[in-house]
């Protein structure tokens, strides 16, 4: 059974990830007109691994040979990765402002959802402490 502090710590790590990703996306938007700037994103796997302080790597488990294979696109396991899904413009900039705004909205909704869950968890414990009054 997971205890109260483990759950709250999990929510804290999720909020930390969303906050860091928000900073990276905002930086991409700020550099939308900078020639040569390459859009970045946050590597969730690396962030989770560092947050959990695990020494072993997180492995993708597949049960069928037709499942998606793990790619080694980020071998150094760094937190910030270049977003290779974007087309490069003539000035070598890869920021697509519409895509970045979509990511920002998605990240904001994720942050709000985790915040709401954390608030509910804290309210549950407040009710328990007050003996349900």
More confident position, 83 or 29: 29
d(CA 54, CA 116): 28
pLDDT of residue 89: 79
pLDDT of residue 60: 59
Residues 6+ apart with CB under 8 A from 63: none
pLDDT of residue 76: 45
Q: Residue 23: pLDDT above 70?
A: yes
d(CA 59, CA 57): 6
| For the chain, percent of residues with pLDDT exceeding 90 | 32
More confident position, 4 or 58: 4
- Token pair for residue 15? 């909020």
């Amino acid at each position: 059974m997971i205890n109260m502090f483990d759950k709250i710590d999990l929510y804290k790590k999720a909020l930390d990830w969303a906050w860091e990703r928000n900073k990276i996306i905002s930086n991409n938007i700020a550099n939308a007109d900078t020639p040569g700037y390459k859009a970045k994103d946050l590597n969730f796997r690396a962030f989770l691994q560092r947050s959990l302080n695990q020494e072993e790597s997180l492995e993708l488990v597949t049960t069928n040979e037709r499942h998606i294979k793990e790619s080694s696109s980020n071998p150094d396991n760094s937190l910030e990765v270049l977003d290779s899904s974007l087309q490069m413009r003539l000035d070598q900039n890869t920021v697509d402002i519409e895509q970045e705004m979509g990511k920002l909205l998605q990240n904001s909704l994720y942050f709000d959802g985790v915040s709401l869950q954390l608030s509910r968890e804290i309210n549950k414990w407040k009710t328990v402490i007050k003996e349900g009054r």
